[in-house]
Amino acid sequence: LPAGQWASSINQANKMALLTWVRETGVNLVQVNGQRRYGGPPPGWVGGPPPAGSEVFIGKLPQDMYEDTLIPLFESVGKLYEFRLMLTFSGLNRGFAYAKYSDRRGAREAIAALNNLEVREGCAILVCRSLEKCELSVDGLPASLARKHLEAVVLEATEGVLGIALHPSPCRKQAQVAVLKYSSHWAAAMAKKTLVEGNVELFGRKVKVEWLKPELKEKLQSCGQKPPAGSVQSGRCTGSAERAPLRPEPCGVRGRLGALCRRRHLGTPHFLTKCIQARPDGWLRFWGQVVIPAWPVPCCMFLWVREDVPGPAGHEKMKDAVAQLALGMLGES
């Protein structure tokens, strides 16, 4: 944990106490985009990430309190999978953090034992269930914007995208609202930060990027516009939405991956493939990714394919290859 990240002279005593604790315990803290993270997964973790409902929100923290105090405190009631502390530029904390436990019981124990606990005289902290939101809304996009153009920008700027949908905006005239679904709250939070800070204007329009509000979700549903993730519905409110036809479960390696994810309650794997290079001798280079909703890291790889030989097309071969890689990541041969 480089001490150079804390150039400010503010609160040096507590910062040095944290550095000493990190050296003595060997805990690995990673700081990125205004927050510092432990775990996700922690050392020695086996299996997939914890289920939804395993994370708590921690508020009303003293701004000069750090992980050397907070992690032992929250580990005292259950096994931590991840701890995230939000930071200011000066190195003070922003007064809140998130603790994710190995199971829902750990989160319940933390709320019962630590909510309203006085960590200092007259300073009681708030501990409650985290909403773990994974969806963003981007309102004010041009009415003529096609999904493929939006997808190109979103996939380039953010990671962990599971679905992109466009709807006529119920709040702005001659505009569209996009609903972006991510693989985790972390991925969605990083995407929100990137889109808000890096692209205040998208496609020549001032847009509003925020967490998807329940009332907006209800409005879109009441218009019969709740498409499957990754699809687009355009036009006016029709009163009913067409259901996408159910596709058969793919067999082979992708079928095995889907079955494994169902058994472990990890969600349905989502594949993305791109042909990124073509050589005159017929070889094509593909990039592939599979995102598993309840797994913290997407699985990616590259593959050279000859499409002038018998067998599945290049995109299908890419999906099979990245599915095989994901099975290995999940501990399956």
How far is residue 289's CA from residue 297's CA, in Å, rounded to a whole number?
Answer: 10
Per-residue pLDDT reduced to its tens digit, 280-320:
888 888 888 888 877 766 788 888 887 665 556 788 888 88
Alpha-helical runs (H) found in 166-313: 185-198, 214-222, 252-263
For residue 78, which phi and psi values (nearest 5 degrees)? Answer: 175, 165
User: Which range, 106-110, 148-152, 326-330, is most confident?
Assistant: 106-110
DSSP secondary-structure letter at 23?
Answer: H
At 193-234, the pLDDT tens digits run 888 865 446 777 788 899 888 888 888 877 754 444 443 333
- Which range, of 65-74, 117-126, 163-172, 212-221, averages the lowest pLDDT? 212-221
Cα–Cα distance, 54 to 42 (Å, whole number): 15
pLDDT at res. 7: 40
As a whole number, mean pLDDT of residues 324-333 equals: 78
The whole-model pTM stands at 0.52
User: What is the DSSP code string of 199-218?
Assistant: -SEETTEE-EEEEPPHHHHH
69 and 13 Cβ atoms separated by less than 8 Å? no
pLDDT of residue 307: 67
Bin 111: left if φ > 0, else alpha if -120 < ψ < 50, else beta.
alpha
The residue-averaged pLDDT of 3-17 equals 64
- Compute CA distances 255 → 22, 229, 246, 268, 302, whole Å: 44, 20, 15, 11, 21
- Residue 130: its pLDDT value, please? 84
Residue 115: per-residue pLDDT? 94
The predicted model gives 79-97 an average pLDDT of 88
Q: Which domains does the chain have, with CATH numbers?
A: 10-129 (3.30.70.330), 135-221 (3.30.70.330), 253-330 (3.30.160.20)
